Amino acid sequence: MPRRSAWRVGRSKLILGVGVVIAVMALIAAACSGDDGGGESSALGGSAADIAQARGLTEADISAALKTYVPSGQQDEYLIFSSGGHAGQVFVIGVPSMRLLKTIGVFTPEPWQGWGYGDQDTMEILEQGRVDGNDVLWADTHHPALSETDGDYDGEFVFINDKANARVAVIDLRDFETKQILKNPIAINDHGGTFVTPNTEWVIEGGQYATPNGWEYAPISEYESEYKGMVTFWKFDRSAGRIDADSSFAMELPPYWQDLCDAGKLVSEGWVFCNSFNTELATGSGDVGSGGEAFEAGASARDNDYMHVINLDKAVGVAASKGVDINGMTVIPLQASIDEGLLYFVPEPKSPHGVDITPGGEYMVISGKLDPHVTVYSFDKIQDAIAAQNWQPDQYGVPVLDFDSVLEAQVELGLGPLHTQFDGDGYAYTSLFLNSSVARWSLGPPYGDEWKLEGEIPVHYNIGHLVAAEGDTVDPDGRYLVALNKWSIDRFFPPGPLLPQNFQLIDITEAPEAAPDTAGMQLLYDMPIGVGEPHYAQMIKADKVLDHVWEVYPEIGWDPSTMSVDPNAPMAGNERVVRNGDTVEIWMTLVRSHYTPDRIEVKAGDRVIWHLTNIDTSKDATHGFSVPGYNINVSLEPGETATVEFDATMDGVFPFYCSEFCSALHLEMAGYFLVAPE
Ligand code: CUK
Ligand code: CUA
C-alpha cells in the first residue's frame, strides 16, 4: 500500500506539471491573440469563450462547471448529510453546488448554534453522552442514516454514531437539531452504526474492537472467553422522535471485530448483515520484544472472515424471552442466538470492509480490503443453506454456511475495494482505496445480464466511502456520486501538514459507452473538507426534507427539546425578575433590537436562572445571548425559548449582547449583567 500511494503521488505531480505547462501555454496564447492593443485581457471580461481561453479551461472543465454551478438565488437539488468525523458533528452540503449549508452540533459543542454553551436543554443532551459520568465532548462520527419509510428516505430524521465511544444520536430534520444522545451501556466503541431498517423501527449499532461487557477489566489472556463482540438494536419511536432505550436490545457476538452493518430490505427485510474482521482473535504484539504478532498482521492472517447474518425479526422475540440484563441493556447471550437460529456466518474474503445490500434486497455485496473482488451473496441461497443446515460450526458454535452454496458472483474490480452504492440503472459503484478510483460495475439479474466491471474513474486520492443519490435505498436516483477521499495531497493549497479531505462530485448520468476511459463517469468538482474526517454520507432529494423542515418555530415560546411550547417561556408583557433567597430568576424576551429587561443586578454567589424567548417570528431573525466570562452563548431562533442556569461566581460588570447580526441596531441589542461583590 505505501508503495502504491507513493506511485500515485509521483504520477499526480507529473500530471500537475503537464497541466501547468498547458495552462501557461493557453494563457500565453490568449495574451498574444486576444490583445487588440487596448492591453486589457481580464479573466472576468469578454465572452464565455474568452474567459475559458484566458483561464485555460478545457471543454471538459466547462461542461463540469455548467453542471455544478447553481446560480445565486437557486437551490440545490440534493442534500448530503455527511458524518463530521472527529468534529463530532454532521455536515449538510448542497449538490451539485457542493456548498456547505450547516454543521449540525451533535456530540461536540457548537458555538454558533449555542450548542453546549449554557442552554440547559443542549447541556442535558450532551450530558446524555457522558461515559461513566465523564464529559466526552468530541466524537468520531462515521455513518449517518436518514430515516426511511418503505426503504426510501423520508426526510424526517438523521441518526449518527460515534465510533470512539459507542454512542448514537438522533437529529430531527424539522429544525436540524440533535434531540438525543445515547451511550451504549455494553460497549465502549462501535462502528457498524448507524443503519436503519426499512421503516426505521430499529437503528443498528454494530460493535468494533471487542472488550469485556461494559468495558469491564479482564486480562487479555482471557480474550477468547471474556471479550465480546456485539450488535445493538435501538428501538426508534417515530412519534416521540426518540430512541426508546428500554425497548432496545443487543446481541452478544464472538469477539471478532464487527465492522459495518446494513439492514435487509424488500425480499431480505427483517434480516441484518454485518461484516467482520479479526476472526483470528489477534490480541496484538504485547510488550515490546515479546515476539507477539502485531494486530495488522495477526488480524489479517486468515483468508476468510465472517459476514454475520442475523434474523432480526426473530431476535426481537428472543430478546424478550431469553435476554439478560447487562448494565440496563437487554442482551441475548451468544448461545441463545445459536440455539434459536438467530445468527449465521458466511465466509467473506479477506479482511472485508463494508456490506451493502442491493436495492431490491436480493444480494449482499462485500468488499475485501485485501482482495481485488467484490463478493456478492444471494439472500435466497443463504436461506436455502440455512434450511438445509449446510454449515459447519465455528469455534464458538455459530453455524458457518458453505461459501460456494451462497455465492452469487465475484467481480474483480481492482485494489482495495471498500464500499458500494447503487444507481437506478443496474450499476454499482465501489470505492477502490488503493487504486484511488471508483469502479463502475454491472449487476446481474434481475438488474442486468451479467456481473461485470465496466471501468473506473480516478479520484484524488485514497477514497473511503462514496455516496450516490439515494444510493442505498430501494429506489436509487443515480445522477450524482460523491467520492469521499481521505487524501488530497496536491489538490488544494497546503494549509500546513494536516491537509483537507476531498469530496469529489462525479456525474454518473451517462452510460459507460459515452466515455469508455472512465466508464461514462465525469469528474465535476473538488470540495475541500477542512473539518474532521468524514466517513459515510447519504444524499437525499432536497424536496423530501423541504416537506418537513421549519423555517421558524411554529409558535412563540417553542422549546426544541420537547418540540412544544414551554408554558414557563417568557412572553411579551410578562417579562420580570424574581428573587427568591439566593436564587434570581429572570424571564426575558428578545426582539429586534432589544432585551426586556436589559439590566440585571445580582449578588456574587447567587444562583441565576435566566429564561429567554425570541418573540420575533420572521424568517432568519435569530438572536444571540452571550455573557462574557461565563462561557455562555445561546442561539435563539425565531419563536425559540431557552433557559440558562449558572452560579454568579465572579463579581463584576458583564455586558451581555446579541451575538447574531440581526438588525441595523444589532450593536445596541445589549444589556448589563451586574454582579455586586458579597
Ligand atoms: S468506515 Cu471510514 S472509510 Cu467507518 Cu464506514 Cu469505510
Ligand atoms: Cu439580535 Cu443582534
Q: Do 166 and 136 form a contact (C-beta atoms < 8 A)?
A: no
- CA separation for the pair 158, 171 (Å, rounded): 5
How far, in Å, CA of 451 to CA of 456, rounded? 15
pLDDT of residue 351: 85
- Is ligand 1 within 6 A of the CB of residue 353? yes
What is the secondary structure of 611-632 as a DSSP string?
A: EEEE---STT--EEEEETTTTE
Which ligand 1 atom is nearest residue 260's CA?
A: 5
Q: Alpha-carbon distance 629 to 610, whole Å? A: 16
CA angle 469/500/84 to nearest 5° reads 55
| Cα–ligand 1 centroid distance for 211 (angstroms) | 21
Handedness of CA 526, 531, 537, 543 (dihedral sign): negative
Residue 421 CA to residue 460 CA, distance in Å, equals 19
CA–CA distances in Å: residue 252 to residues 184, 229, 393, 482, 501? 13, 6, 17, 35, 36
Q: Ligand 1: distance of its center to the CA of 667 in Å?
A: 45
Which residue's C-alpha comes closest to atom 1 of ligand 2? 623
**Which residues have C-beta atoms less than 6 Å from ligand 2?**
593, 623, 658, 660-662, 666, 669
Tell me which ligand sits closest to the C-alpha of residue 160.
1
Q: Which residue has the cell 489479517?
A: 300
Instruction: Report how far ligand 1's centroid is from the alpha carbon of 401 (Å).
Output: 26
- Residues 543 and 469 sit within 8 Å (Cβ to Cβ): no
Contact 565, 102 (CB under 8 A): no
Give the residue carrying C-alpha cell 452540503: 93
User: Quick one: which atom of ligand 2 is closest to the CA of 593?
Assistant: 1
Q: What angle (nearest 5°) sits at the alpha carbon of residue 132, between those of residues 129 and 138?
A: 40
Q: Which atom of ligand 2 is nearest to the CA of 657?
A: 2
Q: How far is the CA of 623 from the centre of ligand 1 (A)?
A: 38
CA distance linking residue 54 with residue 35, whole number of Å: 11
Domain ranges of the chain: 5-68, 187-412, 558-676
Tell me how far apart the alpha carbons of residues 289 and 292 are, in angstroms, rounded to a whole number: 8
User: Up-side HSE of residue 280: CA atoms within 13 Å toward CB?
Assistant: 19
DSSP secondary structure, 137-182, as one string = ----B---EEEEETTEEEEEEEEEEETTTTEEEEEETTTTEEEEEE
Cell 422522535, residue? 241
Compute, in angstroms, the gap from residue 465 CA to the centroid of ligand 1. 6
Beta carbon of 142 within 6 Å of any ligand 1 atom = yes
How far, in Å, are 155, 207, 495 from residue 85 at the CA level?
22, 17, 19
Which parts of the chain register pLDDT below 50? 1-41, 43
Please report the pLDDT score of residue 13 as a whole number: 38
pLDDT value, residue 231: 98
Phi and psi dihedrals of 188, rounded to 5? -105, -15
Q: 122: helix, coil or strand?
A: helix
The answer to whether residues 271 and 264 touch, using CB atoms and an 8 Å cutoff, is yes
| Beta-strand runs (E) in 350-406 | 352-357, 363-368, 373-378, 391-393, 399-401
CATH number at 187-412: 2.130.10.10
Which ligand 1 atom is at minimum distance from the Cα of 163?
4
Looking up cell 449578588 gives: 603
Q: What is the pLDDT of residue 370?
A: 86
* Element (DSSP H or E) covering residue 12: helix 2-34
272-298 burial, b if ≥16 CB within 10 A, otherwise e?
A: bbbbbbbbbbbbebeeeeeeeeebeeb
Q: Distance between CA atoms of 367 and 141, rounded to whole angstroms? A: 22
Say what the pTM is: 0.93
Which of 575, 577, 578, 604 shows the shortest CA–CA distance to 590? 575
Distances 327 to 152, 209, 245, 331, 637 between C-alpha atoms, Å: 34, 19, 12, 10, 38
Q: What is the pLDDT of residue 285?
A: 87
pLDDT the model gives residue 434 = 96
Asked whether the beta carbons of 188 and 131 are under 8 A apart, the reply is: yes
Written out in words, the top-level CATH class of the domain with range 558-676 is mainly beta
DSSP state of 211: B
| Of 419, 459, 462, 466, best ligand 1 pocket probe by most atoms within 8 Å of the beta carbon | 419
User: 70 alpha carbon to ligand 1 midpoint, in Å?
Assistant: 30
**Cα–Cα distance between 198 and 205 in angstroms, integer?**
15
| Cβ atoms 432, 444 nearer than 8 A | no
So what's the pLDDT on residue 369? Answer: 85
Ligand nearest to the CA of 614: 2
Residue nearest to atom 4 of ligand 1 (CA): 142
| Contact between 243 and 216 (Cβ < 8 Å) | no
